[in-house]
Amino acid sequence: ADLPHGWIDKCLDFCDYFLTGVVEYQKLITRNPIFLERVEGVGFIGGEEAINWGLSGPMLRASGIQWDLRKVDRYECYDEFDWEVQWQKEGDSLARYLVRIGEMTESIKIIQQALEGIPGDLMKI
């Protein structure tokens, strides 16, 4: 399929823009003492509970379980990219937030690598 002229560059520009937003969120929210007071130690779910309850994804990884289907089963093409599983051991609401913030950054890394790895004429895929 044909891609519109400049589409990949616009996607890469958006990735940079998005990462700037994530950094801003971290400054405004992650280090905010009021936010921390409300989420740190709240809503604890331990690793054993997470497994017993059938949790998956960020909920599981925020409970101290370093398990991501994309890494474990070499799901789709994820093994072709350099990225880290985002996890936290604390199991509280803050841990779940931090996993999700980390996943935003890692997702952008994957997108950038995928776009930069498109072979041949970037206008024809």
The tens digit of pLDDT for each residue in 74-106 reads 888 999 999 999 999 999 999 999 999 999 999
- Has residue 43 got a pLDDT over 80? yes
What are the residue boundaries of the structural domains of the chain, listed by start?
A: 7-116
Q: Output phi, psi for 19, to 5 deg.
A: -60, -35
- The pLDDT of residue 125: 46
Please give the residue that has the higher pLDDT: either 21 or 74.
Answer: 21
**Average pLDDT rounded to a whole number, residues 24-34:** 93
Alpha carbon 12 to its chain centroid, in Å, reads 17
Average of per-residue pLDDT values in the chain: 92
pTM of the predicted structure, to 2 decimals: 0.87
| Residues with Cβ within 8 Å of residue 105, at least 6 apart in sequence | 19, 22
